[in-house]
Each structure stands twice: as structure tokens, then as C-alpha cells.
């Protein structure tokens, strides 16, 4: 696509929107400006290509398509069949998977499809049928306990939230924590690394139905061969949530024992993050689970989003190109350079470094909570997110950590030299931020002090760092 074509496409789209609701058009334009000017280090965010973005804004949005390819509950789905089949084909080829289901709207939806696919053959539950006619929010803990018993007292063993797991891996407020009798495995308190012997011990004691691998904030590789052996030893289904690192698997940075697809019974992922596609989810599985997975709609999902499946097909096609493998390797190179730059400046990192796309800073060494650090960095033009660290004394809201990642900046073309400069900016902000106090004089976990002039200076330096690497350079909205 030529530079002129991209500019014309997006400019024309905004003109059409502006004629109906100019405030929405203004917000869209402002979002592009903000993303262009911010040093985006949120590990779960990226920049989709113009082709991927444009694939979402079309007439597929108007189409209902419950069912699967060739088996729809609505007529006139032949074009939806085409894009869904293409997306699934690209996913199978890209990841070497036996089966791909591309309908999930998000990573959480993909996980729910996987959970229910695993449970589907277990039992026709009277308690489940009763629950379906009641509001889920009205169910008591006793109701959920009874429901789990009807389903065979199902058990899940997954990584704990503070060790880097995700809330959908059995965290109690999430639906996964209500569906399953859940137990978590953590990390070694000294190294912050997964202790596979302890995972095996927990599995032998707990005997889970599902062993979940994968993470949201664990900065190291995971040995999926060992986890599969643990799952097999207790008769568990091995499920991997690779939402964060799918791009590293697609780009063949993670191979062998560190590629989950050959080892897991079922794999879930988002299609954005390091995979650099549209916001959405996907399930890959072995043949024996394919029929159940394909019942995700109506089992868990509402109607598929054909326009997003079209964008998934485009993004997955892009990920099959040779240059994507180079991009994936540069993500890790940049992440390691960023970690090394922070360590040289005295920052404390969980596990002491990284093997993947993310770095987890323990900001307690700066005398701050994660919430204070997150906001101070945002004031300075650096977008991050607070995150728990292992055995976090501040809990999941205030936290003691900041999670940063390199997929987005790598998409913009920044390299290892810029990562060292980024480490300097982060370290400067954190060392110059002081924790505040509440009105009664007690220490605050949210309030902080940062000199406004310094914040402005760092913002300008961040903008200078980004200037040689414009975002969507072919898109001119003026």
C-alpha cells in the first residue's frame, strides 16, 4: 500500500465519522497523537499494521455468523467462511497446530472456551442447568461449590497472580476461580524462578484436572516439556495460555521445550500483544479436543465478530512473513538491553533479568509503590503499568512493581541503544519521585511528589528518542 493510499483511507474514514459525531473523530485523532508522542512500554500493547486496522472497518461488522465454517445458523455467510477459514489456516501453519479456532473475542474468552471444552465430556450437570436460568452474580459461594461437585469437583493448578500468572488462571474473583477448585504454584522466593519440582509436588498432592502454564508477568522462558510430563504424571489436561509471548513462538524465538504448541493439549492466546494483530483471542488444540472447541459459540461465546476475524487473517498472514521472525528476535534483544540498562543503574528486577519481551521492576527499592511509580512515569511521557511482584506486600491494587515490555517500541524501530536511553529515563524519574503522605501524616501508597519541570524535561527527551522512529509514518491526517 502506498503512503498516499494509507493517508487517504484513514483521512476519509475520519471525515465520514466526523459528519455524524465529530467528538468521536476527534478522540480517534487524539489517540493517534498520544500514541505517537508516548514512550509506550506496556508489555501487552503493540501497534497493529494499517492493513490489520482497516480490515476491521467494513461490512463484515454487519453480519451474524453463529456456528463454524460451513455450519452456520444464519444464511449468507459464505464470505465469513472465507475469512474465518483463512485465519484458521494461517494460525495452523504459523504455529504448527493441528486445529485452530479463531472466534474468541478476547484472551479471557479463549480461556473460557478451553475450560469448557475440557469439561464438556465430563457430565450433564443438573446443577449447571439450574445455574443457567439464574443470574450468575446471584450465585452464592455454596452454589458454586455445589456446581463444582456436580462437575466432578474439578480442580485447576495454575501460576499465582503475584508470581506472574493471570487472573483467568483461577484467581477467585474471576469466573475461573468459581468454576474450579483452584490451587496456585508460585516461584522460588530467592530466585523468582519456577521450581518445577515444587510444581510436580503440588500436582501430586492436589491432582488437578487442568494444569495451566503461561503467564502475564513472568520474565523468563517456561519449560513446557517438563510441565507436560507433570500433567501426564497425574492425568491432568495440560493447557497453556501464551497470550503474552505468542509472537515469540510465531517468530521461532521460543522453540523446542519452550514452544508450548507441541507439548500442550490445548493452547490459548490473544492476537494482539507480541503477535501484533487486532484485539481478540484464539484457541489451538490437539485433534481430540477440536469438536468441543468448535462449539465455543454458543457454549461460551456470542456471535463471532467477522470483521475482527478478517483482521486476524491479515495479521496472521503478516506473521508468516520472514521479517516477522526478525521482529520477534529484536523484541527479546531490546528487552534484555533494557533490563541490562536498568540493572547497571541499580534497579532491582524480578529474576534479575529477562528471557522474553517483558521486564518486571521491583520499585520498592526506590521507596515507591507500583501505583506511585506508574503515575510518575506517565507524567513524564512514559506509559507503563503497575504489577504485583512475588509475595507483594502491597497487594494487586497498589503493587510493588512496574511491568514494562518492548513489543511496541520494537515495532516502531527502536533498538538496543535506545533501550539503554529508555532505562536512563525510567531510572531518573523513579529516583526523583518521592512517596507522599495522607492528610493524617501516614504514608500514602498513591500520593507522590515529582518536580513538574523534571517531568516535562523527561517528556521532551522521550519525544526526542521517538522522533527518528515515527509511528504510522505513511498516515497523515492533516
Same domain, yes or no: 297 and 242:
yes
228: annotated active-site residue: no
Same domain, yes or no: 405 and 312:
no
Task: Provide the grid cell at 7.
Answer: 493517508
Of the residues 18, 36, 37, 64, only one is catalytic, namely 64
- pLDDT attached to residue 302: 85
**Sequence-ordered alpha helix ranges (H) in 213-369:** 224-233, 246-250, 287-293, 296-299, 306-319, 322-344
Last residue of a domain, one of 284, 319, 354: 319
Of the residues 268, 270, 351, 406, only one is catalytic, namely 270
| pLDDT confidence band for 165 (50 / 70 / 90) | confident
The Cα 336–Cα 172 span in angstroms is 33
CATH number at residue 370: 3.90.1150.10
Same domain, yes or no: 304 and 431:
no
Q: 465-475 burial, b if ≥16 CB within 10 A, otherwise e?
A: bbeeeebbeeb
Q: Does residue 419 lie within any of the structural domains?
A: yes
pLDDT tens string 326-345: 999 999 999 999 999 999 99
Same domain, yes or no: 384 and 346:
yes
Same domain, yes or no: 370 and 299:
no
pLDDT tens string 403-451: 999 999 999 999 999 999 999 999 999 999 999 999 898 999 999 999 9
The Cα 403–Cα 408 span in angstroms is 14
- pLDDT attached to residue 152: 54
Rg (CA), the chain: 23
> Is residue 130's pLDDT more than 90?
no
Same domain, yes or no: 229 and 117:
yes
Least confident of 54-58, 257-261, 438-442: 438-442
* Domain extent at residue 306: 59-152+192-198+215-319
Q: Of 161, 165, 268, 282, give the one whose Cα is nearest residue 216.
A: 165
| pLDDT confidence band for 122 (50 / 70 / 90) | low
Same domain, yes or no: 243 and 284:
yes
* Half-sphere exposure at residue 130, Cβ-oriented, CA atoms within 13 angstroms: 10
270: annotated active-site residue: yes
Last residue of a domain, one of 275, 301, 319: 319
- pLDDT attached to residue 161: 80
Are 318 and 47 contacting, i.e. CB atoms less than 8 angstroms apart? Answer: no
221: annotated active-site residue: no
Structural domain count of the chain: 2
Same domain, yes or no: 291 and 367:
no
Q: Does residue 118 lie within any of the structural domains?
A: yes
Q: Of 220, 275, 307, give the one whose Cα is nearest residue 411.
A: 275
Task: Provide the grid cell at 168.
Answer: 483467568
Q: Does residue 52 lie within any of the structural domains?
A: no
The DSSP result for 262-278, as a single string, is: TT-SEEEEESSGGG---
- pLDDT attached to residue 320: 97
Same domain, yes or no: 247 and 360:
no
**Sequence-ordered alpha helix ranges (H) in 345-415:** 370-379, 395-398, 407-412
Q: Does residue 119 lie within any of the structural domains?
A: yes
ω into residue 67 within 30 of 0, thus cis?
A: no
> Is residue 204's pLDDT more than 90?
yes
Of the residues 66, 89, 143, 257, only one is catalytic, namely 66
Q: Of 159, 323, 308, 309, give the one whose Cα is nearest residue 250.
A: 323
> Is residue 133's pLDDT more than 50?
no
Same domain, yes or no: 347 and 417:
yes
Q: For the residues 227-248, what does the mean pLDDT come to? A: 95
Q: What torsion do the CA atoms of 256, 259, 265, 270 make, to the nearest 10 degrees? A: -170
Angle at 33 between CA 28 and CA 38, to 5 degrees: 125
Q: Does residue 30 lie within any of the structural domains?
A: no
Q: Does residue 224 lie within any of the structural domains?
A: yes
Same domain, yes or no: 327 and 271:
no
124: annotated active-site residue: no
Of the residues 6, 84, 162, 241, only one is catalytic, namely 241
> Is residue 86's pLDDT more than 90?
yes
Are 392 and 403 contacting, i.e. CB atoms less than 8 angstroms apart? Answer: no
> Is residue 132's pLDDT more than 80?
no
Q: 58-83 burial, b if ≥16 CB within 10 A, otherwise e?
A: eebeebbbbbbeeebeeeebeebbeb
Last residue of a domain, one of 292, 319, 346: 319
Q: Does residue 178 lie within any of the structural domains?
A: no
- pLDDT attached to residue 466: 96
The Cα 202–Cα 184 span in angstroms is 9
Same domain, yes or no: 309 and 336:
no
Task: Provide the grid cell at 308.
Answer: 475482527
Q: For the residues 181-189, what does the mean pLDDT come to? A: 89
What whole-number percentage of the chain has pLDDT above 70? 93
Q: Does residue 18 lie within any of the structural domains?
A: no
| pTM (two decimals) | 0.90
> Is residue 289's pLDDT more than 70?
yes
| pLDDT confidence band for 139 (50 / 70 / 90) | low
pLDDT tens string 40-53: 999 999 999 999 99
Q: Of 111, 234, 209, give the one whose Cα is nearest residue 155.
A: 209
Neighbours of 33 (CB within 10 A): 11
CATH number at residue 135: 3.40.640.10
Amino acid at each position: 500500500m502506498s503512503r498516499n493510499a494509507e493517508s487517504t483511507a484513514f483521512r476519509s474514514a475520519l471525515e465520514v465519522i466526523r459528519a455524524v459525531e465529530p467528538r468521536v473523530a476527534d478522540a480517534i485523532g487524539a489517540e493517534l497523537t498520544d500514541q505517537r508522542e508516548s514512550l509506550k512500554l506496556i508489555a501487552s500493547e503493540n501497534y497493529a499494521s494499517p492493513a490489520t486496522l482497516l480490515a476491521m472497518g467494513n461490512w463484515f461488522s454487519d453480519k451474524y455468523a453463529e456456528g463454524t465454517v460451513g455450519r452456520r445458523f444464519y444464511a449468507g455467510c459464505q464470505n465469513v467462511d472465507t475469512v474465518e477459514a483463512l485465519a484458521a489456516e494461517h494460525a495452523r501453519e504459523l504455529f504448527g497446530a493441528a486445529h485452530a479456532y479463531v472466534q474468541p473475542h478476547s484472551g479471557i474468552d479463549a480461556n473460557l472456551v478451553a475450560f469448557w471444552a475440557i469439561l464438556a465430556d465430563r457430565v450433564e450437570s443438573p446443577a449447571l442447568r439450574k445455574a443457567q436460568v439464574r443470574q450468575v452474580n446471584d450465585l452464592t459461594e455454596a452454589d458454586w461449590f455445589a456446581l463444582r461437585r456436580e462437575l466432578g469437583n474439578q480442580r485447576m493448578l495454575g501460576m499465582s497472580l503475584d508470581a506472574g500468572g493471570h487472573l483467568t488462571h483461577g484467581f477467585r474473583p474471576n469466573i475461573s476461580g468459581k468454576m474450579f477448585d483452584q490451587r496456585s504454584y508460585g516461584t522460588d522466593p530467592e530466585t523468582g524462578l519456577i521450581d518445577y519440582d515444587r510444581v510436580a509436588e503440588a500436582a501430586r498432592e492436589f491432582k488437578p484436572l487442568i494444569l495451566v502454564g503461561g503467564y502475564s508477568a513472568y520474565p523468563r522462558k517456561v519449560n513446557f516439556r517438563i510441565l507436560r510430563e507433570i500433567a501426564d504424571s497425574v492425568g491432568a489436561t495440560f493447557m497453556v495460555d501464551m497470550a503474552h509471548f505468542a509472537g515469540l513462538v510465531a517468530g521461532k524465538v521460543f522453540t523446542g521445550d519452550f514452544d508450548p504448541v507441541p507439548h500442550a493439549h490445548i493452547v490459548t492466546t490473544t492476537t494482539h500483544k507480541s503477535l501484533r494483530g487486532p484485539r481478540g483471542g484464539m484457541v489451538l488444540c490437539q485433534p481430540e479436543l477440536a469438536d468441543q472447541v468448535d462449539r465455543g459459540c454458543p457454549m461460551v461465546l456470542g456471535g463471532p465478530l467477522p470483521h475482527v476475524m478478517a483482521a486476524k487473517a491479515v495479521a496472521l498472514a503478516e506473521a508468516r512473513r520472514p521479517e516477522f521472525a526478525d521482529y520477534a528476535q529484536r523484541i527479546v534483544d531490546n528487552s534484555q538491553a533494557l533490563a541490562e540498562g536498568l540493572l547497571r543503574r541499580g534497579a532491582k528486577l524480578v529474576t534479575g533479568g529477562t528471557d522474553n519481551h517483558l521486564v518486571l521492576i521491583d520499585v520498592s527499592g526506590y521507596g515507591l509503590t507500583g501505583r506511585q511509580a506508574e503515575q510518575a512515569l506517565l507524567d513524564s511521557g512514559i506509559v507503563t503499568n503497575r504489577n504485583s511482584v512475588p509475595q507483594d506486600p502491597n497487594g494487586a491494587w497498589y503493587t510493588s512493581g512496574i511491568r514494562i515490555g518492548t513489543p511496541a517500541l520494537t515495532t516502531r524501530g527502536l533498538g538496543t541503544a535506545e533501550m539503554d536511553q529508555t532505562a536512563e529515563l525510567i531510572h531518573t524519574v523513579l529516583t526523583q519521585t518521592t512517596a507522599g503522605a495522607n492528610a493524617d501524616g501516614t504514608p500514602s501508597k498513591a500520593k507522590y511528589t515529582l518536580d513538574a519541570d523534571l517531568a516535562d524535561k523527561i517528556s521532551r527527551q522521550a519525544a526526542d528518542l521517538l522522533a527518528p522512529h515515527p509511528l504510522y509514518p505513511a498516515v497523515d491526517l492533516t
